[in-house]
Amino acid sequence: MAEEAHAPHAEGAHDAHAEHGGGGGDPMHHIMDKVMLGLGADGKLYWKPYGDHGHLEYAGYAPQTIGPMKLEFTKHMTGLTVIAFLLALVITGIARKVLNNVGRDEPTRGRLANAVEALLLFVRDELVIPAGGHHAAHYTPLFLTYFFFILSCNLCGMIPEFGGVTGNSGVTMVLGVSVWVILTLLGIANQGFAHYFLHMVPPGTPLPMWPLMFLLEFMGPVIKCGVLCVRLFANMIAGHLVISNILALGVVGGALPTGIAVGMIFVGVPLALGISMLEILVCFIQAYVFTMLSVIFVGAAVHPEH
């Protein structure tokens, strides 16, 4: 990466930076994913090949690809990895502690352990069992993972410059599709392959309508999981957009007379603070909504009578 640091900037990058001049700017680059490390087609590693503002820094850079996949490691991928690593570490640690306490027949000690236990019981007793019934309760660990992972990603997105992981359509798409894959697999495992697909169509459907009904019923969970993905993505990115745009008022104001620009900062910061508070609420709500809906979908697939 160091040897590339002096590489001439691409033309487009220069133009973009010229537009950036004067302190004005587009806040989008704070929200969008950023390539941290890229493996170039030339076999060299590039550190932030697109720079902090999303404009190509190296004229010669073109990412190495495997099929449609670029060999780049992005900010959201980093955040995601850090969150997953910390979650695995913290929660297994807490689990050991709680197990220790439970084994000795004493109450759970420690604030974090109690908080995790409370959330765990909340997910199991208020979400999984009421929404999915006891059949879905076997898969409580799945929903717990969704809940804790999404909640952590959402909340970490509120840390400036951490990057809103759930504000990345790729991440939420994986989450949404994983729900569909899991519910299909669990449906087949619980009902049997033929039974699962044949019983998608309600009994008593006229034969000519059968293919259409099958298609509709098959598409139902697909669409539902797609909506799951879009809902999380849209909610999380919308908050980030609003906050960054409000904060950008002062930056944009750089082109305006100084008084107005300073005034805009005084308006923008408190407003962004207020929206941030609201966003923290949204972080919890979206984690809750995603988990609850996935419980309902999985519950319906595992045991359709409910």
**Site residues (vs another protein, CB under 8 A):** 24-28, 31-33, 67-74, 76-77, 80-81, 84, 87-88, 91-92, 94-95, 98-99, 102-103, 105, 117, 120-121, 124, 140-142, 144-145, 148-149, 168-171, 173-175, 178, 237, 241, 245, 248, 252, 255
CA dihedral 83, 179, 132, 236 (to 10 degrees): 50
Q: Give the residue with the Cβ less far from another protein, 68 or 203.
A: 68
Q: Give the residue with the Cβ less far from another protein, 44 or 124.
A: 124
Asked if 261 and 269 touch (Cβ cutoff 8 Å), the reply is no
Q: Give the residue with the Cβ less far from another protein, 37 or 59.
A: 37
Q: Give the residue with the Cβ less far from another protein, 43 or 202.
A: 43
> Nearest distance from residue 214's CB to another protein, in Å?
28
> Nearest distance from residue 68's CB to another protein, in Å?
5
> Nearest distance from residue 147's CB to another protein, in Å?
11
Asked if 260 and 251 touch (Cβ cutoff 8 Å), the reply is no
> Nearest distance from residue 33's CB to another protein, in Å?
7
CA angle 116, 120, 121 (to 5 degrees): 120
Q: Give the residue with the Cβ less far from another protein, 29 or 303.
A: 29
Residue 255: HSE in the Cβ half-sphere, 13 Å Cα cutoff: 9
Asked if 103 and 96 touch (Cβ cutoff 8 Å), the reply is no
> Nearest distance from residue 16's CB to another protein, in Å?
11
> Nearest distance from residue 110's CB to another protein, in Å?
14
Q: Give the residue with the Cβ less far from another protein, 181 or 216.
A: 181
Q: Give the residue with the Cβ less far from another protein, 144 or 156.
A: 144
Asked if 178 and 138 touch (Cβ cutoff 8 Å), the reply is no
> Nearest distance from residue 280's CB to another protein, in Å?
22
